[in-house]
Amino acid sequence: MTVTTSIVAASVSVAAAVITGIVSIWMLRHRRLVQETEAYRAISELYDRVVQAKLQRPELLPLARRWSAARMRGAYEQLTDEDRDWAIYSTYTEVCIGFCNAVLQARSRGLMPKHEFEAQWEPLVKFVITEHYPMIRDLLKEAKFVSSYLTDFVDELRTAGWDWEREHRLLAWSA
């Protein structure tokens, strides 16, 4: 093999490695954008379900004020109309928790910028949790039924001084 052939072969190898590196970086960025898009789509779909439920069943919010752990039995037994209302409310709260988990997971995986989380999504997650805190509090006591995303977020804000019970009471804007 001549020196010229060796130089050409080395140049082609280097060029191929550079092109492969560029394509790999592009593929990683593209994959990341797809993951971000999927996360935002899931978040938006879940939040749309939360809002639609509020519009279709306005009686759900007052139930949040009257929740107690004893209501769970009625939600499962559904012997009365009130029990059926509790079953619907508990299902609605699960959708709310699903929305919160989707946002918190996207934050945890770095799929949303920190400033966007803090400016838009964190206040909304706080609001949804605060609205339904009595039931969420009871679920948090049974840690096996909630995600670590939700548990960690509630603890993180509590440590920072957020009083979930007080904020839930204040939501009716009647101190």
Closest CA to 117 of 130, 132, 102: 102
pTM: 0.81
User: Which of 36-50, 62-76, 92-106: highest mean pLDDT?
Assistant: 92-106
Cβ–Cβ under 8 Å, residues 106 and 154: no
Under 8 Å CB-to-CB from 76, ≥6 apart: which residues? 87
Average pLDDT over every residue of 110-121:
93
- What integer pLDDT is reported at residue 147 of this predicted model? 93
| Residue type for position 166 | R
Q: How far apart are CA 133 and CA 140, in angstroms?
A: 10
Alpha-carbon span 53 to 28, nearest angstrom = 38
CA angle (100 as vertex; 122, 39 as ends), nearest 5? 90
- In tens, the pLDDT along 55-69 reads 999 988 888 889 988
Give the contacts of 100 (CB within 8 A, at least 6 positions apart): 125, 128, 129, 149, 150, 153
Mean pLDDT, rounded, of the chain: 87
